[in-house]
Structure 1
C-alpha cells in the first residue's frame, strides 16, 4: 500500500470540520469493516484514530466519561465504598 496522506491533517481542521469528519468516519465504519479491502480498513482506522486523538486533545471535557459509567461512579451511586477512597 502506498503511504500517502488521506485528508487534511486533523490539527489543521477547524472545530466544525473536525466534528463533521469524525461523524462521517463513524457513519462509514461498519461498511468499511464488512465490505472494505484490507487496505481500506487500514486507511480508515488510521484516519479515525488521528481524528479522535485531535478531538480528545481539543475537547477533553466533552470526551470525559459520565461518572456513572465508571466503576467508582457506579459504586458511589449504589452507596458502596470505592476501593482506595477511605
Structure 2
C-alpha cells in the first residue's frame, strides 16, 4: 500500500497536476513558515522539494531562466 498522507507521488502526477500542486504549495508557504508547527513546516518543505525536483526533471524548459535575468544575457543586451 502506498503512503499518500502527503499527496500523490510527484512522478504519478500529470504535467498540469504537477504545476497546480506546485503553485498551491508556493501559495501556502508563507502561512506555513509563519504559523505552522515544526512538523508542518518539515512536511511542507519535503513536499515542495519533491514537487520542484520532479518539475525540473520533467519540464526543464519551463524552468530555464529568462536570458535577460542572467549576467550573460544582460551583457549581451547592453551591447
CA drift of 1:17 comes to 1.1
Q: Which has the higher contact order (CA 8 A, sep 6+)?
A: 2
Q: CA RMSD in A?
A: 1.3
Cα distance between partner residues in 2 of 1:11 and 1:29: 22
Q: Rg: which structure is higher?
A: 1
Superposition misfits of 4+ residues, deviation over 2 angstroms: none
Give structure 2 stretches of 5+ with no counterpart.
Answer: none
Give structure 1 stretches of 5+ with no counterpart.
Answer: 80-86
Q: Which residue of 2 aligns with 1:77?
A: 77
**TM, length-normalised to structure 2:** 0.89
The count of residues paired between Structure 1 and Structure 2 equals: 76
**TM, length-normalised to structure 1:** 0.82
Residue 34 of structure 1 aligns to a residue whose secondary structure is helix
